[in-house]
């Protein structure tokens, strides 16, 4: 074969390869779509490698609609809506706002567009009915594609942590029932496990004063708000027998000094304070960040044997309960009514559900932020893992990886940079079956939404206020509980339950379509 012919064949081969590699092209010519997207105070940046790579693949380039100085997404969203000139695409953490704009005509329904132009999203919804339910509004339309967590793979978020070194020091065993937990707390309180000769230990503390009561009563399997029971009935936790059992126990713990006296006021730094000063024994908190205290050299120097481990929540009435689990998604993105080319936009949305888009949104660009090992498993490169002065998550964020669009998170991404011990504990919770799933984010009609927002905010305030009064011993639980129930009814609890029951049934019905 002459050199010329082989050269021609080579060129033909290259051209063919280019054609095949261009599977993801959406437009023949480069096209720009504007996007409103701000997450954690960071405005969308077209220079992030994730979106540059997506542009290379699709020929669609996203351009930020809002100025970099605007860091509040709600403010930016409200500005855009009131200005009357919307961007092509809107990404937001608040699904109810996207849907309400959709019902007002500002965002278009995607149902037909998905049917005709988004084969990846279509098959994704078919494969995961629950994920589809999260996308469907009360009127049956899909106004946004959610940004999904890898919910089927991991739902545990927080765990019950206990000072293993204190347990060892006092010759105790890991508590397996709530009664045993009580005994351990009494020992922590009275037997000086920090060995300073003072009774200064605080057996149970909480960093999140906002959720402290929810988590404490949650360990007893009681709920602080609406939930759905095994008969698919919507119930308001504080009206149940279990709630009536749980609160007095917490009241007792508090009275006996087993709970941080400042649990509702100490605030976000309390975990740091309690652990670094060798004062705190037990808490309920996020696996990864709490586990990381075990590797803190400064802390280890001060408290030599320090060991804070997650345990399966002790059983109450024969069952373990881990409150505060992951939800299925957080926010998502939709296409505005003024979008120049909705078909192009839905095709671009669909790209993120292709194999390539899925990998890109979770891992970034191959041979830059990740590589594949011999088994084809993805691994982050040192660019991500060993960036000086930055955590892997910070690096990922700076590259647009895991930025909130409408996509599916890959739990593997968390495994690739997270602490193996923390992940083991999260998986232990999953295997044990103790994770208490929250009620799905229900979808309301405009009318329902107006009513439920008003009732909910009053219910929450009342429950919060009374819980604190009871726990802190300001008022007697038994003497005030009936009055409390009466107050809930006056606020409109019955109507809220009816609305939620209807919304829940509608939500489940969408699953069956």
Distance of closest approach, residue 269 Cβ to Ca ion, in angstroms? 21
Q: Which is nearer to Ca ion, 192 or 366 (CB)?
A: 192
Contacts of 151 (CB under 8 A, 6+ apart): 130, 131, 326, 327, 328, 329
**Candidate segments 45-53, 150-158, 196-204, 359-367, binder of Ca ion by CB under 5 A:** 196-204
Give the span between the Cα atoms of 138 and 133, in whole angstroms: 10
Q: Least distance from C-beta 198 to Ca ion, angstroms?
A: 5
Measured from the CB atom, the residue of 46 and 192 that comes closer to Ca ion is 192
The least distance separating Ca ion from the CB of residue 307, rounded to whole angstroms, comes to 17
Choose one: 157-165, 193-201, 338-346, 349-357; the region binding Ca ion (CB under 5 A). 193-201
Measured from the CB atom, the residue of 102 and 193 that comes closer to Ca ion is: 193
Written as one string, the DSSP assignment of 124-191 is HHHH-HHHHHHHB-TTS-B--EEEE--TTT----EEEEEEHHHHHHTT-----BHHHHHHHHHHHHHS
Taking CB under 5 A as the binding criterion, the range among 16-24, 153-161, 176-184, 187-195 that sits at the site for Ca ion is 187-195
Pick the closer one to Ca ion by CB: 35 or 167: 167
Q: Provide the minimum distance between the beta carbon of 246 and Ca ion in the complex, in angstroms, as a whole number.
A: 29
Positions in 199-228 near Ca ion (CB under 5 A)? 200
> In the sheet that 329-335 helps form, which strands lie side by side, from edge to edge?
60-64, 31-36, 89-92, 329-335, 145-148
Q: How far is the CB of 193 from Ca ion (least distance, A)?
A: 7
What is the four-CA torsion angle of 350, 352, 358, 361, rounded to 10 degrees? -170
Binder to Ca ion among 39, 66, 194, 500 (CB under 5 A)?
Answer: 194
Name the one range near Ca ion by CB under 5 A: 185-193, 233-241, 332-340, 481-489.
185-193
As a whole number of angstroms, the distance between CA 105 and CA 110 comes to: 12
CB of 281 closer than 8 Å to CB of 192: no
d(CA 224, CA 56): 49
Q: How far apart are the first and last CA of the chain?
A: 61
* Closest CB 279 distance from Ca ion, rounded Å: 8
Nearer Cβ to Ca ion (195/511): 195
Binding residues for Ca ion, total number by CB under 5 A: 5
- Encoded one letter per residue, x for contact with Ca ion by CB under 5 A and - for no contact, window 262-301 reads ----------------------------------------
CA distance 1 to 19: 26
- From 189-197, 322-330, 386-394, 489-497, give the range in contact with Ca ion by CB under 5 A: 189-197
Q: How far is the CB of 252 from Ca ion (least distance, A)?
A: 22
Element (H, E) at 303: none
Give the nearer residue to Ca ion in terms of CB position, either 198 or 241: 198
- The minimum distance between CB 372 and Ca ion, in angstroms, equals 52
State the nearest-atom distance from the C-beta of 278 to Ca ion, in Å: 8
List of residues 6+ apart from 229 with CB closer than 8 A: 235
Q: Give the C-alpha separation, 472 to 321, whole Å.
A: 24
Query: Which CB sits closer to Ca ion, 39 or 194?
Result: 194
Q: State the number of CA atoms in the 13 A half-sphere of 141 facing the CB.
A: 21
- Binding of residue 192 to Ca ion (CB under 5 A): yes
Where on the chain is the footprint of Ca ion (CB under 5 A)?
192, 194, 196, 198, 200
């Amino acid at each position: 074969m002459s050199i010329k012919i082989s050269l021609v064949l080579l060129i033909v081969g290259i051209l063919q390869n280019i054609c095949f590699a261009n599977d993801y092209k959406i437009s023949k010519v480069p096209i720009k779509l504007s996007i409103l997207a701000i997450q954690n105070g960071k405005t969308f940046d077209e220079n992030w490698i994730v979106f540059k790579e997506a542009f290379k693949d699709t020929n669609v380039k996203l351009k930020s609609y809002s100025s970099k100085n605007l860091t509040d997404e709600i403010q930016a969203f409200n500005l855009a809506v009131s200005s009357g000139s919307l961007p092509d695409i809107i990404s937001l953490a608040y699904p109810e706002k996207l849907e309400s704009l959709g019902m007002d005509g500002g965002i278009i329904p995607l149902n037909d567009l998905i049917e005709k132009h988004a084969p990846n999203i279509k098959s994704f919804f078919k494969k995961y009915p629950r994920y589809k339910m999260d996308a469907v509004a009360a009127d049956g339309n899909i106004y946004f594609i959610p940004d999904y967590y890898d919910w089927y793979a991991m739902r545990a978020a927080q765990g019950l942590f206990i000072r293993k070194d204190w347990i060892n020091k006092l010759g105790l065993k890991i508590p397996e029932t709530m009664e045993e937990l009580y005994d351990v707390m009494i020992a922590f309180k009275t037997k000086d496990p920090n060995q300073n000769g003072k009774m200064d230990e605080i057996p149970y503390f909480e960093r999140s004063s906002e959720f402290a009561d929810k988590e404490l009563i949650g360990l007893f399997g009681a709920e602080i708000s609406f939930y759905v029971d095994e008969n698919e009935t919507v119930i308001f936790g504080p009206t149940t027998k279990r709630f009536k059992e749980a609160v007095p126990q917490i009241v007792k713990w508090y009275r006996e000094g087993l709970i941080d006296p400042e649990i509702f006021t100490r605030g976000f730094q309390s975990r740091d304070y309690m652990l670094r000063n060798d004062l705190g024994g037990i808490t309920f908190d996020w696996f990864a960040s709490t586990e990381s205290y075990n590797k803190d050299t400064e802390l280890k120097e001060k408290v030599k044997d320090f060991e804070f481990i997650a345990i399966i929540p002790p059983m109450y009435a024969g069952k373990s309960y881990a409150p505060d689990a992951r939800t299925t998604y957080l926010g998502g993105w939709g296409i505005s009514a003024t979008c120049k080319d909705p078909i192009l936009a839905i095709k671009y949305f669909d790209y993120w559900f292709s194999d390539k888009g899925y990998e890109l949104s979770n891992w970034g660009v191959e041979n830059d932020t990740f590589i594949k090992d011999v088994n084809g498993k993805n691994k982050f490169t040192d660019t991500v893992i060993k960036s000086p002065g930055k955590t892997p998550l910070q690096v990922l964020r700076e590259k647009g990886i895991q930025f909130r669009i409408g996509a599916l998170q890959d739990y593997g991404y968390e495994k690739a940079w997270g602490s193996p011990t923390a992940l083991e504990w999260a998986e232990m919770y999953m295997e044990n079956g103790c994770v208490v799933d929250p009620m799905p984010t229900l979808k309301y009609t405009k009318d329902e939404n107006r009513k439920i927002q008003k009732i909910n905010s009053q219910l929450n305030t009342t429950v919060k206020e009374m819980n604190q009064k009871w726990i802190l011993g300001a008022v007697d639980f038994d003497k005030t509980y009936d009055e409390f129930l009466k107050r809930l009814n006056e606020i409109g609890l019955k109507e809220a339950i009816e609305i939620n029951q209807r919304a829940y049934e509608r939500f489940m019905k969408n699953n069956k379509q």
